[in-house]
């Protein structure tokens, strides 16, 4: 940002700057200089001065033109993609798991840094891709433990730790 040499601005220049600001034709740096140099009292007095009819018309035109520009620049939304076969299987498995674990409100894993009760998630023995859309396996109690976010994060990328936790909490499944 350029450093602008501050100078005193006359009251007439101040009025012109503020009218430009009201109309939306302002230079932000000049306005900030003017506002820093003059007290708020002067700005309040200036707000009380009614705009001339010409200035009111110009202000309305600027507002209307800015609104039409915004409509032209609005982001086009793309339609949401449909849920695929695997996505539907995951949703169904999640429904079944919620019914299966309705009364469980604590982390089963209990590693260092455990949050105990918040936020709880379903931690699968394998990555979801391993189940290849099999709802029965995804929703099997032996394939899932409940874990807080920290514990889930720790076992997510460590196959050995995941197997150790599942051996301790669930029976071995081949």
Tens of pLDDT along the chain (174 residues) come to 445 454 556 666 666 766 666 666 655 556 665 555 555 555 555 555 566 677 677 767 776 676 666 655 666 777 788 889 999 999 999 999 999 999 999 999 999 999 998 899 999 999 988 999 899 999 999 999 999 999 999 999 999 999 999 999 987 654
Cis peptide before 13 (omega within 30 of 0): no
pTM: 0.53
- Distance (Å, rounded) from C-alpha 91 to C-alpha 83? 10
Q: Helix, strand, coil shares of the chain as percentages rounded to 5?
A: 55, 5, 35
> Residue 129's closest CA among 86, 173, 172, 164?
86
Sign (positive or negative) of CA dihedral 14, 17, 20, 24: negative
- Distance (Å, rounded) from C-alpha 99 to C-alpha 60? 59
Encoded tokens for 13: 């220049």
Q: Write down the domain spans for the chain.
A: 11-73, 85-169
Encoded tokens for 167: 């051996």
């Amino acid at each position: 940002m350029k450093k602008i040499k501050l100078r005193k601005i006359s009251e007439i220049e101040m009025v012109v700057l503020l009218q430009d600001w009201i109309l939306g034709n302002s230079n932000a740096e000049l306005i900030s200089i003017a506002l820093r140099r003059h007290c708020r009292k002067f700005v309040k007095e200036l707000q009380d001065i009614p705009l001339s009819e010409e200035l009111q018309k110009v202000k309305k035109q600027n507002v209307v033109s800015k609104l039409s520009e915004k409509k032209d620049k609005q982001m086009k939304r793309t339609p949401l993609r449909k849920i695929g076969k695997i996505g539907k299987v995951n949703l169904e498995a999640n429904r079944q798991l919620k019914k299966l674990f309705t009364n469980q409100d604590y982390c089963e894993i209990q590693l260092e840094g455990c949050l105990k009760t918040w936020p709880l998630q379903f931690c699968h023995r394998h990555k979801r891709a391993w189940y290849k859309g099999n709802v029965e396996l995804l929703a099997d109690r032996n394939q899932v433990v409940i874990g807080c976010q920290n514990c889930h994060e720790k076992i997510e990328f460590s196959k050995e730790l995941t197997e150790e936790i599942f051996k301790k909490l669930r029976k071995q499944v081949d």
